[in-house]
Structure 1
Amino acid sequence: MQPPDGEEEGQPSAESMRTLAESLGMDWYFLPVVSGQVTDEQGDEFGEILANAEAPIVAYCRTGARCGCLWALSLRHEHSGEHLVESLKLAGYDMPDFFKRLQG
């Protein structure tokens, strides 16, 4: 996962990150997510990646919030919204609008 290309000045491109990952023997998956616009479908896609990718798995974004949202959405059919919200809070995230969405 990576922020969309060009989101921030100086950010490495998806292609440069793919090249680096592959040079280290890692598989590369590109799931661009716009900040504040994470969809349920992206969460499902993230869950598929987590289920099928070889561990260890590295997922990243600028602050980690989008990765946290994707993680929670990928597990929403297996865990309660309350459990996912508490897990995100324990990880240091405060995203009231997203928390409402998970619990809704």
Structure 2
Amino acid sequence: MSVSYQSLAPDFAVTGQLQPADMQALADAGFKSVIINRPDGEDGPSQPLSADVLRAAEAAGLQARYQPVVSGAMTAADVADFSHLLQELPGPVLAFCRSGGRCTKLFQASQESAPHQSQG
């Protein structure tokens, strides 16, 4: 089983909906952490529950966090929470939602709002 993803930075990538069974493949690919940005139930019963994905991630040795963000309704708090997760979690990190677009927007917004390191 292989998971396709798009790298946005050396330690960060995004992808669409993942299944619990995908978590070991992510660990095997070198990822250390997973962020779930898709709210439970967004796509009805065909969508796996975040709790099941989190359990599978932990079993595969991954750090995992559930940070649901409503599609088209991203807030400043969502961006701040996402930025905090990127600082807290060991990289490389893979974030997923329905298509990867929401995670891409969160990442881009978090980079734009990050304080510049070269001050001082």
Question: If the length of structure 2 is used for normalisation, what is the TM-score?
Answer: 0.61
The match for 1:3 among 38, 52, 67 is: 38
Amino acid at match of 1:31: Q
Higher strand content, 1 or 2: 2
Distance 1:44 1:2 in 2: 13
What residue is the counterpart of 1:61 in the other structure?
97
* Match runs of 1:1-104 below 5 Å: 1-9=36-44, 10-78=46-114
Whether contact under 8 Å (1:43, 1:69) holds in the other structure is: no
Question: Secondary structure, in 3 states, of the residue corresponding to 1:51?
Answer: helix
Higher helix content, 1 or 2: 1
Shift of 1:77: 2.5
Q: Deviations over 1:51-70 (max 9, x none)?
A: 11011211001111110111
Amino acid at match of 2:39: P
Percent of residue pairs identical: 33
Amino acid at match of 2:51: E
Instruction: List runs of 5+ in structure 1 lacking aligned partners.
Output: 80-104
Q: After the TM superposition, which parts of structure 1 deviate over 2 Å for at least 4 consecutive aligned residues?
A: none
Amino acid at match of 1:48: H
Instruction: List runs of 5+ in structure 2 lacking aligned partners.
Output: 1-35, 116-120
Whether contact under 8 Å (1:43, 1:72) holds in the other structure is: no
Distance 2:65 2:87 in 1: 13
Which fold has the larger relative contact order, with Cα–Cα distance below 8 Å and residues 6 or more apart in sequence?
Answer: 2
